[in-house]
Amino acid sequence: MNFKKVISKDAIAKMPREVFSGKIVVVDNESSLEQALDFLSGLSQLGFDTETRPSFSKKTHYRMSLMQIASDDTCFLIRLNRFKQVPGALEMFLKNEAIKKIGISLRDDFNGLHNLTNIVPANFVDLQRYVQQFGIEDMSLQKIYAILFGKKISKRERLSNWEIHTLTEAQQRYAALDAWACLHIYQHLERMKDGAS
């Protein structure tokens, strides 16, 4: 398994753009959350990401706005800013050791989560550590994805307002793609590892 260790921004700019083509479900109340967790709890591996409204002042800090959890073909966008506190069912899900949750730069996600709840998330895989065993040195999701699949993930929506009343289609697609891409990377490398053994 020989991958490029690093990739340039110029190389990524020339690549075709990746698009999440699965189903996107916005979760903004207890009922839709219950339905989402019922579905997700039946799966063994999921992609994970979060978004927080960007602050352009050192004095202003926002709490985590969105949590994305993706299966192979569906991504749930859980609008945490619509809940007074992290629902107990979601806390249980994040602590569920039977479900592997794959993200990237999880330290940032966990720090944001810690501002909302005292739980200790369980069975998370951080791609920044995981890809090192394959010789990949670039640590950003965009670069890892480009190295493996030859496609670029647009980061255009990253600094948009994640607390807006209704998420735009572009925001939804961006958020879903980030979570799904984490799962896609992990599954791809696991299959390659199994094939090499």
Tell me the pLDDT tens digit for each residue of 57-71: 677 777 899 999 999
Strand 124-126 to 100-103 pairing: parallel
Gap between the Cα atoms of 180 and 126, Å rounded: 14
pLDDT at 129: 95
pLDDT at 196: 59
CA distances from 38 to 22, 26, 31, 117 (A): 18, 15, 11, 21
Confidence (pTM): 0.93
pLDDT at 4: 82
pLDDT at 2: 66
Residues of the chain with pLDDT under 50: 197
pLDDT at 166: 96
